[in-house]
Homo-oligomer: A and B are copies of this chain.
Amino acid sequence: MNTLDALIGNLSRLPGIGKKSAARMAYYLLKADPGFAEKLGCQITELRAKVKTCSLCGGYTDSDPCELCQDPRRDHGLVCVVEQAQDVQPILQTNEYPGVFHVLQGVLSPLEGVGPENLTINKLIQRVRDEKIREVILATNPTVEGDTTALYLVKLLKEYPVKITRLASGIPVGGDLEFADRLTLARSLKGRTDFSL
């Protein structure tokens, strides 16, 4: 197999990239300014060596502990619990979240053999016990596994003097009632907010 085909084959292993997109990317890399492909290639090669997991929150970081855990301007009494390290960025980008994070590194999934011992649940309990945490926001996905994990965490965290909240689930902004599924609509009803506030 020649160099170009080998590259296209590997690029098409990336999520969301088919053969045609991979070919377009490869041809672009051949034609783009000379430094670009070299730079990008190096970044990909070095990625795993450079990006670590923060020993406190479990998020991706270049330095351990991560910038968020070290930032004195953030509210360390507020912890947002997410499934994966990639869930941190979207929450930060809302610019509405002043707290820190805790990455579970997965969700409870008996079918896939993922139990509480496979997640960073013990570490979360330890953080709640030892750090001055006022509120834990459970931000697992609103899926069967995410909800189950959130319920399991509630059961464990109830024993500690900490406020436990869950991300609101409902119709996305810009969405349409007509096309919302029954469960989403039911949740948005159940979680309705007081408009007189």
Contact = CB atoms under 8 A, between A and B. Distances in A.
Given A47-B3, A48-B37, A23 B89 contact: yes
A13 B28 CA distance: 10
Given A21-B16, A60-B4, A62-B3, A37 B47 contact: yes
Contact of A30 (B4, B34, B51): B51
Contacts of A32: 13
Given A37-B47, A43-B3, A16 B24 contact: yes
B61 A27 contact: no
A40 interface: yes
A62 to B, nearest CB: 5
Contact of A60 (B11, B30, B43, B61): B30
A167 to B, nearest CB: 19
Interface of A: 2-4, 6-7, 10-11, 13-17, 21, 23-30, 32, 34, 36-48, 50-51, 60-62, 67, 84-86, 89
